[in-house]
């Protein structure tokens, strides 16, 4: 069982403040009364939108009779739920946007957005006011963190597999280059490495690519930096 369409949380709170007698100035009372009437008009217009009316029927039939959809001029289509404890309509956290909802909204509401099982009116109020993260969003955060961790683990495994696939000679060469970089020894490019350096220098001269002053910072293998430059330790990258 629900109440009047305009008995929404903002309207109720403004009306309570007006009735409390704390607002004494006639001009202030007039402005507050106008704000209440304007909010009611916005609610009625939003509920009357054809898309909102269609989805309100679907939500009430397929999910819960206490739900409704309306068009909010600032947020787009939103879903309200009648909270019996407070006796007003309360906006469910999250918005749909200004496009018509995608098919499957009712199914998502039944599973992910079951407000009775996953949130209390206080949870909803705190989330809307920005005082706390909504329980539903906390679940999404947890799921996202698990996906991120799984991706990071998969990337780590790929890197380790690539390292394991290196031959002993290539690994020794890589370690030698890194040691030389940090000790100031000279690095001399040969074979494919030299060809790659010369190719990048040609591209740089033609203006097709740009290389930073310390090209080694941008290279996957710093020892292959295409610049000939002197490091703080005194070492040089030179061609031979």
Instruction: Tell me how far apart the terminal alpha carbons of the chain are, to the nearest angstrom.
Output: 86
On average, the pLDDT of the chain sits at: 78
The candidate with the shortest Cα–Cα distance to 239, out of 199, 190, 205, is 190
| pLDDT, tens digit, 9 for 90 and up, residues 189-226 | 667 777 777 777 787 787 766 655 444 444 545 444 44
pTM: 0.48
Token readout for 187 is 């690095």
| pLDDT, tens digit, 9 for 90 and up, residues 52-110 | 999 999 999 988 898 999 999 888 999 998 888 778 898 887 768 888 888 888 888 87
Residue 236 or residue 201, greater confidence: 201
Tell me the pairing of strands 187-189 and 237-239: parallel
DSSP string covering 13-40, please?
A: HHHHHHHHT----HHHHHHHHHHHHHHH
| pLDDT, tens digit, 9 for 90 and up, residues 3-34 | 899 999 889 888 988 888 887 788 888 999 99
- CB within 8 Å of 90: residues ≥ 6 apart: 8, 9, 80, 81, 82, 83, 121, 124, 125
Tell me if 82 sits within 8 A of 66, measured CB to CB. yes
User: Is 103 in a helix, a strand, or coil?
Assistant: coil
Token readout for 223 is 């020892």
d(CA 123, CA 239): 66
Tell me the pairing of strands 76-83 and 88-91: antiparallel
User: Is 97 in a helix, a strand, or coil?
Assistant: strand
Residue with tokens 């009372």, as numbered in its chain? 29
Sign of the C-alpha dihedral computed for residues 165, 171, 173 and 174 taken in this order? positive
- Let me know how many helices (H) and strands (E) the chain has, helices first: 9, 5
């Amino acid at each position: 069982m629900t109440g009047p369409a305009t008995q929404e949380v903002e309207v109720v709170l403004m009306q309570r403040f007006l009735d409390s007698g704390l607002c004494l100035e006639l001009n202030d009372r007039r402005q507050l009364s106008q704000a209440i009437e304007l909010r009611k008009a916005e609610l009625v217009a939003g509920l009357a939108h054809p898309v909102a009316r269609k989805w309100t029927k679907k939500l009430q039939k397929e999910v819960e009779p206490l739900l409704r959809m309306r068009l909010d001029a600032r947020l787009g289509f939103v879903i309200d739920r009648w909270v019996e404890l407070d006796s007003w309509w309360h906006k469910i956290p999250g918005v749909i946007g200004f496009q018509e909802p995608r098919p499957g909204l009712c199914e998502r509401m039944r599973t992910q957005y079951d407000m009775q099982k996953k949130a209390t009116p206080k949870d909803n109020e705190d989330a809307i006011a920005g005082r706390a993260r909504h329980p539903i969003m906390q679940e999404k955060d947890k799921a996202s963190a698990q996906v991120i961790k799984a991706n990071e683990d998969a990337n780590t495994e790929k890197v380790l597999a690539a390292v394991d696939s290196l031959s002993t000679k290539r690994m020794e060469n890589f370690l030698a280059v890194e040691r030389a970089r940090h000790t100031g020894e000279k690095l001399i490019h040969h074979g494919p490495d030299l060809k790659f350096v010369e190719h990048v220098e040609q591209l740089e001269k033609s203006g097709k690519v740009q290389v930073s002053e310390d090209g080694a910072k941008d290279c996957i293998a710093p020892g292959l930096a295409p610049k000939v430059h002197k490091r703080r330790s005194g070492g040089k990258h030179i061609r031979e």
